[in-house]
Amino acid sequence: MTRDIEEKIRVLEEELKRTEYNKATEHHIGKLKAKIAKLREELEKRRSQGKGGLGYDIKRSGDASVAIIGPPSVGKSSLMNALIGKEVSPVGHYAFTTIKVVPGMLEYHGINIQLLDLPGILEGASQGRGEGRKVLSVARAVDMILVVLDVYTYSMVDAILQELFNAGIRLNKKRPDIKIKKTGSGGINILAPQDLCLDKSTIKDILIELGYHSAEVIINDKDVSLEDIIDAAFANRAYIPGIFVINKIDLIDNHYIQEIIKYFKERQLLNDTVFVSATRKVNVDILRNEILNRLSLVRIYLKPPNGDPDYENPLVLKSPAKVLDVCERLGSQFIKYFNYACVWGKSVKYPGQRVSIEHQLYDGDIITIYLKRRL
């Protein structure tokens, strides 16, 4: 049965490739993409039936997690070791040295980042080739993805991105501001900006193809794509920041590096790309900083009343963070009995400013929380 679904997907994808995208074909292309997405979901469900769990058993730790993904033999393990500063993941001179997920901890500027060195993936990973589906299931659950290639395999970036896309991962993409709610009757009603780039009839037919016959649809962004509508309908996509890492730059000259730069610039990926040599430690510090910046984490230092701030153990939160988030991390009693807080740092106008529970905190802020007296 799965082969029948795979064949249907193949036929539809061939038709999609042959169809040039323009305003006249937009409606047809939208329905084709919806059919393919629906079949992929059905295929994934069938493949998962009767299997004792999908993925590797990984104990999560640290303030954030970063997956290192890419084809075999591009230096993923060497990169992980270089980032951490010691050998954590085994390095070999043959393909598929890493056959399971190898975790390691990057301690950087007071933040603990769990790195996950994943087994190499190949084209067809999302369809079950090798351990691809297990690897991609791990990637779906992390806070960031490093797509690692080297100076000889950089042209595989399109194939890797396609595998991530097929697995429901939207790399470096903002979640579309679309809300779809099924209703019992009344057809499909769409509330959207007047200058919406998609035709409403196209949106309706996409949703009908995906099993929606009555729904309230609210679109707040005029520049949504066909894929955005499909993704919002499934509501199971993972929107994850990512960095493309080109390894082994010490093995080529500047002329060849410029060719790679041009290749990534043409695909509008250059601003998300870092060139490194893991073995020579070239640009490894730049990559560490880029990881930290893109994770959007803030360090908050707790200060007891009449005491000194604890600079050794910052509270690490996802930005934007409020005083409320600090209270939630400390325990429900801090919310229940919260009175006010005093903050020192960039988020306030003067040191020790008194703030409410809704006050937004910045990286490096110091906070003291005062609770109401319990009766």
Question: Residue-wise pLDDT tens for the chain (375 aa)?
Answer: 688 888 999 999 999 999 999 888 999 999 999 999 999 998 888 877 655 444 576 888 999 999 999 999 999 999 999 999 988 877 755 555 556 899 999 999 999 999 999 999 988 888 777 778 889 999 999 999 999 999 999 999 999 999 999 999 999 999 999 999 999 899 999 999 999 999 999 999 999 999 999 999 999 999 999 999 999 999 999 999 999 999 999 999 999 999 999 999 999 999 999 999 999 999 999 999 999 999 999 999 999 999 999 999 999 999 999 999 999 999 999 999 999 999 999 999 999 999 999 999 999 999 999 999 765
**152 and 270 together in one domain:** yes
| Full residue range of the structural domain in which residue 78 is found | 64-173+238-295
- Per the domain annotation, does 306 fall within a domain? yes
Cis previous bond, 320, omega within 30: yes
Give the CATH number of the domain where residue 341 resides: 3.10.20.30
Give the residues across from 244 on adjacent strands: 147, 273
Q: Which residue, 234, 258, 276, sits at the end of a domain?
A: 234
* pLDDT given for residue 310 in this prediction: 95
The CATH number given to whatever domain includes residue 286 is 3.40.50.300
- 149 and 244 co-located in one domain: yes
For residue 270, the model assigns a pLDDT of 97
**One domain, residues 290 and 303:** no
Residue 59 lies in a domain: no
Query: What is residue 53's predicted lDDT score, i.e. its pLDDT?
Result: 47
On whether both 286 and 310 belong to a single domain, the answer is no
User: Are 250 and 144 within one domain?
Assistant: yes
Q: Are 269 and 338 members of one domain?
A: no
Q: Are both 323 and 365 inside the same structural domain?
A: yes
Question: 184 and 266 share a domain?
Answer: no
| pLDDT at residue 338, rounded to an integer | 96
Strand order in the sheet with 64-69: 102-108, 111-117, 64-69, 144-150, 242-247, 273-275
The CA-atom distances, in angstroms, between 68 and each of 10, 78, 153, 244, 303 are 29, 11, 16, 10, 36
Question: Tokens 């082994």 correspond to what residue?
Answer: 248
Domain assignment present for 225:
yes
Domain count, the chain: 3
* Pair (166, 73) in one structural domain: yes
Whether 57 is in a domain gets the answer no
Residues 6 or more apart in contact with residue 236 via CB below 8 angstroms: 168
- Is 91 inside any structural domain? yes
Strand partners, 362: none
Residues 181 and 168 in one domain: no
Q: Do residues 219 and 273 both lie within one domain? A: no
